[in-house]
Amino acid sequence: MSGPGIPAARGLSRAAVAPVAGHVAAGAAASALDAARLVLLRDLQLAFRRRAQLVQPLAFFAMVTMLFPLAISPELARLREIAPGVLWVAALLASLLALEFLFRDDAYDGTLEQYALSGQSLTSLMFAKTAAHWLLTGLPLAVMAPVAALSLGAPASAIAGIVISVAVGSVALSLIGSIGAALTLGIKRSGALLSLLTLPLSLPVLIFGARATQLAISGGALLAPLELLGALAVLGVTLAPLAAAAAVRISLE
């Protein structure tokens, strides 16, 4: 893939980074790890050229969190009780919102096709893309979650537990979401369908994550739900890129 193949509308920022995709395609000699690293760096680089898009899911997360005090009550005692649920529902919705960016541009300008034809394992490239997605959305959410939690009356002692649970849980969310995003590639107005596909599969993450956050706020031992979250993330790492790669191939047919 080279410069002239890119529609002018995609703008300079993608064109300038596009040769990285070319390296992946040309590099039959490159190892799968090198290719995955290149894809990861390319996605990060592209994202930092468009910082506004990075901030949107975070702003969305903050806004959803803000809705609850306004809709229910400003009493901190009551808010503290619902804080874990609010945080996780907001995180789930924010990560769902961010999923649209995961493959859309790459599918639009043909980069995904080049990945599929590159001879590299599409599974590892999908894993790299999802990892970049997590670094760009999951990790910032984890950093921001304690701020939201504090505003809902959580004690400062809960911060570490909340960061860890959101960080681990969002790994699983990104991976599950990558399957849904890959399946809905090429479908017009796929937002509602994407949430219908992704949310039921994300419920275990919501349950364990909210439980871990609840325990962090009340000062209990949160290792058990964290371990379950970790198990979901590991299961996702092993299986989700396979399914996402299969789904991308199907949508390219």
Residues of this chain that bind other proteins (CB under 8 A): 179, 183-184, 186-187, 190, 193, 196-197, 199-201, 203-204, 207-208, 211, 228, 232, 235, 239, 243, 246-247, 250-251, 253
3-state SS track over the chain: CCHHHCCHHHHHHHHHHCHHHHHHHHCCCCCHHHHHHHHHHHHHHHHHHCHHHHHHHHHHHHHHHHHHHHHCCCCHHHHHHHHHHHHHHHHHHHHHHHHHHHHHHHHHCCHHHHHHHCCCCHHHHHHHHHHHHHHHHHHHHHHHHHHHHHHCCCCHHHHHHHHHHHHHHHHHHHHHHHHHHHHCCCCCCCHHHHHHHHHHHHHHHHHHHHHHHHHHHHCCCCHHHHHHHHHHHHHHHHHHHHHHHHHHHHHHC
Please report where in the chains the tokens 């670094």 appear, as a residue: 135
In the numeric block, which tokens belong to residue 188?
């017009």
Closest approach of Cβ 177 to other proteins, in Å?
Answer: 12
Closest approach of Cβ 246 to other proteins, in Å?
Answer: 5
Looking at the Cβ atoms of 69 and 84, the one nearer to other proteins is 84
Closest approach of Cβ 102 to other proteins, in Å?
Answer: 16
Looking at the Cβ atoms of 58 and 199, the one nearer to other proteins is 199
Looking at the Cβ atoms of 117 and 250, the one nearer to other proteins is 250
Looking at the Cβ atoms of 1 and 127, the one nearer to other proteins is 127
Closest approach of Cβ 170 to other proteins, in Å?
Answer: 17
Closest approach of Cβ 4 to other proteins, in Å?
Answer: 29
Closest approach of Cβ 228 to other proteins, in Å?
Answer: 8
Looking at the Cβ atoms of 102 and 183, the one nearer to other proteins is 183
Q: Which of 53, 49, 51 is nearest to 16 (CA)?
A: 49
Looking at the Cβ atoms of 133 and 211, the one nearer to other proteins is 211
Looking at the Cβ atoms of 140 and 208, the one nearer to other proteins is 208
Closest approach of Cβ 185 to other proteins, in Å?
Answer: 9
CA dihedral over 203, 107, 193, 195, signed as positive or negative: positive
